[in-house]
Structure 1
Amino acid sequence: MNIRKLMPKDRYLKNGEYIYRNDGNFLYESNKTLFNQEIQSYLKDYDKWEIEGEEDYLSRKAILISGKLGFTGKSGENKFEIIVDRETGIILRLDLLGKDNTIIFSMETKEINIDKNIDSSIFEKSINDYKNESR
């Protein structure tokens, strides 16, 4: 099954469990903003969220989405707000809110550069302090 070709509602098993991609682990912490599969579970029920509008965020055109989680988490979170980069789908901000709209968890992108040239020297590592070991 090629998950990329499935429509959003078709990505769920019969019991409501989401079909996750297996190749996101290589992103480590960036996985939370670049490839956050947990967000999919927030958006699976179209009746529980809506697009509030567009806004400028870090000089990027972004979309604000708000909704209800459909459950109450361990810390009391039951609502969410997500700001998503319109062009890339990167999550720029995620807030999980309690019933009184207090922020319980927040994740925010502070700086973003897209399609910028990167000086290849930052990927070079000096091996001067390494020693050859024989077995």
Structure 2
Amino acid sequence: MNEFLATLLQAVLVAAVPVCAAFIGKGLKALAAYLGQKSESDAARKYLEAAADAISTAVAYTSQVYVDKLKETGQFTKENQQEALGIAVAQAKNLLTAEAITYLQTAYGDLNEYLKSRIEAEVRNQKMGVGTLTLGT
């Protein structure tokens, strides 16, 4: 009887191990995919927050150092507005890390165009007293 139970247990284990291994393998693949997606999402959030901070700081800096002085003297023209945008773009780039720049270029293409559009939105938000940028928008 003991021999029969031992043989039966061995047969069940031989049949169950491959099935369990397949489920464990699929579970590990799913876990790896989830963790990969989560880490990519965390990296994206980190770089988008860095970009939002850099843009907000660049707009405030440009306004304080350049725009406000021109507005006080009534010399803030369309040409000066374009120059202020260029100053803000350069300032934002200076505040971003190389990794953030690489991420933004990969995700959005032309970094200058991305920064210009985000800076214009931030200028409008700051004028209206709405606050700073939100992530990825």
TM-score by length of 1: 0.21
Structure having the higher strand fraction is 1
The structure in which a higher percent of residues are helix is: 2
Q: Which has the higher contact order (CA 8 A, sep 6+)?
A: 2
TM-score normalised by the chain length of structure 2: 0.21
**Rg larger in structure:** 2
